Structure 1
Amino acid sequence: MTWTFVNTHFFKEGAAVLQTNDLALQRGYGVFDYLRTANNQPLFIDDYLDRFFNSAQQLFITIPYKKEKVKQYIFELIAKNNIPESGIRMLATGGYSPDGYSPVTGNFVLQQQPLQTPDNEKFERGIRIVTYAYQRDFPAVKSTNYLMGVWLQQQLKEQHIDDVLYFHHDIISEFPRANIFIITTDGRLLTPAANILQGITRRKVLELAPEILPVEERDLSIAELKNAAEVFMTSTTRRILPVVEIDGIQIGNGHAGRISTQLYKRFLDLEAEVLRD
């Protein structure tokens, strides 16, 4: 059984409790972030901490610790659990609200669980997606509100579809848990600039990509998406994963594209470099 950290202490999972008047339970009001470990080392931890604290600030949620203290607890959790390849969730809730509506000092939780990233076969095969008209509230915030994404799961399973990409007024934005990139037929890398969560993996790809091809962040239409030479998603748990079919339309040759593969290899090299430091 793994260890969990809640507010001030480490608990064996299952022993930690929160009161039922927490706004995360009463109103679904909370923020979180999720980072990955490799060989018991957290990857890009400062980037994730910055985003976590920014999300909390945007929703007026008070995290009871400074960033460095949270980082310390993360390293302690890693040492106690010894799960080399894992995901770590940081959660800050709206707190024990006296009126069930107003946020107060939040409860703070750290959880860790084993995590397996997609293998090379999954990368080469890619995923099939559909588009869906929806725009998240507070897209720059990584909140606990995944109502639409969770609600759509049954429909996706019935259609044997891997994921859903949101759009609004014909402009694409993001997946429920990932960002989107397209590679045009004339060799440019494009990704939405607005109404998205600024993904950490997305940021790393934007830093790596200019060595390979020109990069633009701007509004992208559904037509541009479906006419792309290559499409891929980026996320913490999936790194870079090609999209080979959108709304029944095949993208490229139906497999991982050349540039997507180049970027994937460069991202793996970046991870290895971080682990060496």
Structure 2
Amino acid sequence: MNRTVYLNGAWLAEADAHVSIFDRGFLFADAIYEVTGVVNGKLLEYEGHSARLQRSMGELGLVCPLSPEELLGVHREIVQRNALSEGLIYLQISRGPADRDFAFPANPVPTLVLFTQAKAVLDNPKARTGISVALLPDLRWARCDIKTVQLLYPSMAKMEAARQGADDAWLVEEGFVTEASSASAHIITSDGVLVTRPLSQAILHGITRHSVLDLATTIGVAVEERPFSVEEAKTAAEAFITSATNFVLPVTQIDGQLIGDGQPGPLTLRLRELYIERKIASAI
């Protein structure tokens, strides 16, 4: 690929962009990230991603070298420089380079990186077939509400799911589903109630999750934010995940057991359609 990327105020060819080996993002995963969807060259749900970025930075005591307005400008410019019509923008802020020490440096100079990923996010074939998930123990750290780059266990979970022949993993703690490896997990009960785990430090506060719950309420779907068990998930009428990359994506099989009739559920597909329609209309 021959992308133009953003690194600490400079626009560079991706092959020319380099970060110090002493960067704390590399040495300690002392960094946070955000991923914003792009459709028709416009940013989806940018306000929510920007707000979550500010929250994550506050939780880790990181300071962005750009103002929120300047950061929005960089997002728009990277779309233009890469002629990105559809795909994703990845942003990462680390505490920056410092001699290796567990203690934070006194006067850090953050590293800010953005790059694009061209990807067909609208026409996802898995939206028509659904995905299968494997259930795995949730062994992540206890602050999953902060969107840090320490993603080794989610990566391991995805690889183990693939080894088992599944598309992704749902993570389980004390018999209850927390979330997917990199998305929010939801079920729809036989009486049409949308159930998803409530916000806490145990899960990421998903931007797409929030929007989909609002959409569900708008169209008259009852929503319950509460933990749901593995057994409840396996016997649900429908199941799906939400994320900036997948929007609303049906889950049709959990640990080898078909959900409903094994096809994407009608409410799941309706929520996906509504989400795409409304978020494209409000993209900036």
TM-score for both structures, normalised by structure 2: 0.92
8 Å CA contact 2:158–2:181 kept in 1: the answer is: no
What SS does structure 2 have at the residue aligned with 1:116?
coil
State the 1:120 CA deviation. 6.0
Letter in 2 for 1:273: A
Letter in 2 for 1:268: I
Q: Structure 1: which 5+ residue stretches go unaligned?
A: none
Output one character per residue of 1:242-262: Cα deviation in whole Å (capped at 9) or x when no partner. 111111111000001111111
State the 1:230 CA deviation. 0.4
CA–CA distance in 1 between the matches of 2:47 and 2:210?
13
What SS does structure 1 have at the residue aligned with 2:128?
helix
Which residue of 2 is the match for residue 149 of structure 1? 154
Which residue of 2 is the match for residue 164 of structure 1? 169
Q: How does 1:253-268 map to 2 (within 5 A)?
A: 253-268=261-276
Which residue of 2 is the match for residue 129 of structure 1? 133
Which residue of 1 is the match for residue 51 of structure 2? 50
What SS does structure 2 have at the residue aligned with 1:237?
coil
Which residue of 2 is the match for residue 207 of structure 1? 214
What SS does structure 1 have at the residue aligned with 2:231?
helix
CA-based RMSD of the aligned residues comes to 1.5
CA–CA distance in 2 between the matches of 1:224 and 1:118?
30
What SS does structure 2 have at the residue aligned with 1:201?
helix
Q: How does 1:32-71 map to 2 (within 5 A)?
A: 32-71=33-72
CA–CA distance in 2 between the matches of 1:148 and 1:54?
23
Q: 1:25 to 1:49 in 2, by over 3 A?
A: same
CA–CA distance in 1 between the matches of 2:234 and 2:122?
24
CA–CA distance in 2 between the matches of 1:177 and 1:160?
18
Letter in 1 for 2:167: D
CA–CA distance in 1 between the matches of 2:266 and 2:87?
29
8 Å CA contact 2:158–2:169 kept in 1: the answer is: no
Letter in 2 for 1:222: V
CA–CA distance in 1 between the matches of 2:123 and 2:76?
27
Letter in 2 for 1:213: V
Output one character per residue of 1:63-117: Cα deviation in whole Å (capped at 9) or x when no partner. 1122111111111111111111121011001211234323333211111120122
8 Å CA contact 1:165–1:172 kept in 2: the answer is: yes
Q: 1:153 to 1:207 in 2, by over 3 A?
A: closer
Which residue of 2 is the match for residue 183 of structure 1? 188
CA–CA distance in 2 between the matches of 1:199 and 1:50?
12
Letter in 1 for 2:91: M
CA–CA distance in 1 between the matches of 2:124 and 2:261?
17
Q: Structure 2: which 5+ residue stretches go unaligned?
A: none
Which residue of 2 is the match for residue 222 of structure 1? 230
CA–CA distance in 1 between the matches of 2:169 and 2:86?
27
CA–CA distance in 1 between the matches of 2:114 and 2:14?
11
State the 1:121 CA deviation. 4.2
8 Å CA contact 1:39–1:85 kept in 2: the answer is: yes
Alignment pair present for 1:90 and 2:91 = yes
What SS does structure 2 have at the residue aligned with 1:88?
strand
Q: Pick from 231, 235, 238: which aligns with 2:243?
A: 235
Which residue of 1 is the match for residue 282 of structure 2? 274
What SS does structure 2 have at the residue aligned with 1:128?
strand
TM-score for both structures, normalised by structure 1: 0.95
Q: 1:48 to 1:120 in 2, by over 3 A?
A: closer
Letter in 1 for 2:40: N
- Aligned pairs, how many? 276
Output one character per residue of 1:166-219: Cα deviation in whole Å (capped at 9) or x when no partner. 111112111121001110011111100132101111111011001231111112
CA–CA distance in 1 between the matches of 2:124 and 2:171?
27
